[in-house]
Amino acid sequence: MVFGIALLGVATMSVIGVPLIIVLMRFLSSDERKRATAVDAELDMPDAPCGLWSESDPQLRDRMGRR
């Protein structure tokens, strides 16, 4: 009896779980494409500072002695 209930639970989760996982993966995939497009656009901006991030930080630049 317990085995039958467990088997029914597994079958129910398979019927509900597989489509849910497919929908979730499609949503995450489309969200990732949107974020990648936004990041690519930000990286392609021409006014982005060149060089290392530490060179554009005034506190670190002064600490390293670079002007």
Q: Which residue has the tokens 């554009």?
A: 56
Helices (H), 1-67: 2-43, 53-56, 58-64
Q: For the segment 8-66, what is each residue's pLDDT rounded down to a tens digit?
A: 777 777 778 788 889 999 999 999 999 999 999 888 887 756 677 777 778 887 787 76
For 60, other C-beta atoms within 10 Å of its C-beta total 13
Domain ranges of the chain: 1-36
**Per-residue pLDDT, 49:** 63
Q: How far is CA 4 from CA 9, 28, 36, 52, 53, in A?
A: 9, 35, 47, 63, 61
Structural tokens at position 18: 């597989």
CB 57 within 8 A of CB 64: no
Q: Is the per-residue pLDDT at 1 higher than 60?
A: yes
What is the pTM (predicted TM-score) of this model?
0.45
**Per-residue pLDDT, 67:** 57
